[in-house]
Structure 1
Amino acid sequence: MELLDIAHRGRTLRGALHLPSDKDAPVPAVVLCHGFGGNRAEFGYTFVRAAAALAAQGIAAFRFDFAGCGDSDGEFDDLTVSDQVAQTVAVLDAVGAHPAVDADRLSLLGMSLGGLTASLAAPHRPVRSLVLWAPAALAVAMTEEGAKRRAAAIAEHGYDDFGGLPIRRPFVDDAARIDPFADAAAYTGPVLLAVGADDFVLENGVLDRYRDAYADRLDLHLFAGVGHGFETVPARERLVELSAAFAARHA
Structure 2
Amino acid sequence: MLKKRLRIPGSLGAVLGAELDLPDTHTPRAYALFSHCFTCSRNLKSFHVICEELARQGIAVLRFDFTGIGDSEGRFSQTNFATDVDDIVAVAEYMAANYAPVKLLIGHSMGGTAMLHAAARIPSCTAAVTLAAPADPGHVARHFIGKRPEVSKTGKAMITVGGNHFEIGEKFFQDLAYAEDGSTLSAFQKPLLICQSRDDELIDFTHAERIYRHAGKPTSIFSLEHADHLLKVREDASYLAHIITAWSARYL
TM-score, length-scaled by structure 2? 0.84
Question: How far apart are residue 234 of structure 1 and its match?
Answer: 3.0
RMSD across aligned C-alpha pairs, in angstroms? 2.5
Shift of 1:24: 3.3
| Cα 1:206–1:24 shift into 2, 3 Å | closer
Moved more, 110-119 or 80-89: 110-119
Task: Report the Cα offset of residue 141 of structure 1.
Answer: 4.3
The 8 Å contact of residues 186 and 214 in structure 2, kept in 1 or not, is answered as: yes
State which drifts further: 193-202 or 154-163. Answer: 154-163
SS in 1 for 2:6: strand
Specify the code of the residue in structure 2 equivalent to 1:5: R
Conservation of the 8 A alpha-carbon contact between 2:104 and 2:127:
yes
Match of 1:240 in 2: 241
Per mean C-alpha deviation after superposition, the further-off stretch among 216-225 and 80-89 is: 216-225
Q: What residue number does 1:35 align with?
A: 37
- Which residue of 133, 136, 141 maps to 2:134? 136
Gaps of 5+ in 2: none
CA distance in 1, matches of 2:116, 2:227: 22
Match of 1:6 in 2: 8
Q: Distance in 1 between matches of 2:153 and 2:228?
A: 31
Equivalences for 1:199-218 in 2 at 5 Å? 199=200, 200-202=202-204, 205-214=206-215, 216-218=217-219
Q: CA contact under 8 A between 1:66 and 1:72: conserved in structure 2? A: yes
Which runs of structure 2 are paired with 1:39-78 in the superposition (5 Å)? 39-42=41-44, 45-78=45-78
Q: Is the 8 A contact 2:23 2:58 kept in 1?
A: yes
- The offset of 1:245, in angstroms, is 2.7
> What are the Cα deviations for residues 70-116 of structure 1, in whole angstroms up to 9, with x where unaligned?
111101222201001001001111111224x2x2x522111111111
- Per the TM alignment, residue 139 of structure 1 is displaced from its structure 2 partner at its CA by 5.3
The whole-number CA distance in structure 2 between the counterparts of 1:10 and 1:95 is 17
Cα 1:139–1:228, aligned 2, differ >3 Å: closer, same or farther? Answer: farther
Residue 188 (str. 1) matches residue 185 (str. 2): no
Q: What displacement does 1:211 show?
A: 1.8
Q: Secondary structure at the match of 2:111?
A: helix
What's the % identity of the aligned pairs?
23
The 3 A distance-change label for structure 1 pair 244 and 162 is farther
| Partner residue in 2 for 1:112 | 109
Deviates most, 83-92 or 189-198: 189-198
Asked whether the equivalents of residues 159 and 169 of structure 1 are also in contact (C-alpha less than 8 Å), the reply is: no
Shift of 1:244: 2.8
Please give the alpha-carbon distance, in whole angstroms, between the structure 2 residues aligned to 1:32 and 1:143: 22
How far is the alpha carbon of 1:51 from its aligned partner? 1.9
**In structure 1, what is the Cα distance between the partners aligned to 2:51 and 2:26?**
15
Q: 2:249 & 2:61 partners in 1: Cα distance?
A: 12
Q: Distance in 2 between matches of 1:142 and 1:29?
A: 29
Distance verdict in 2 for CA 1:68–1:143, change over 3 Å: closer
Query: Could you tell me which residue of structure 1 aligns to residue 95 of structure 2?
Result: 95
Is residue 192–residue 219 contact of structure 1 (8 Å, CA) maintained in 2? yes
Instruction: Tell me, in whole angstroms, the C-alpha distance in 1 between the residues paired with 2:74 and 2:144.
Output: 26
Confirm whether residue 125 of structure 1 aligns to residue 122 of structure 2. yes
Q: Where do 5+ consecutive residues of structure 1 fail to align?
A: none
Q: Which amino acid aligns with 2:61?
A: A
Runs of 4+ in 1 over 6 A off after TM superposition: none
Say which SS state the counterpart of residue 5 (structure 2) adopts: strand
Report the Cα distance in structure 2 between the residues aligned to 1:147 and 1:233, rounded to whole angstroms.
30
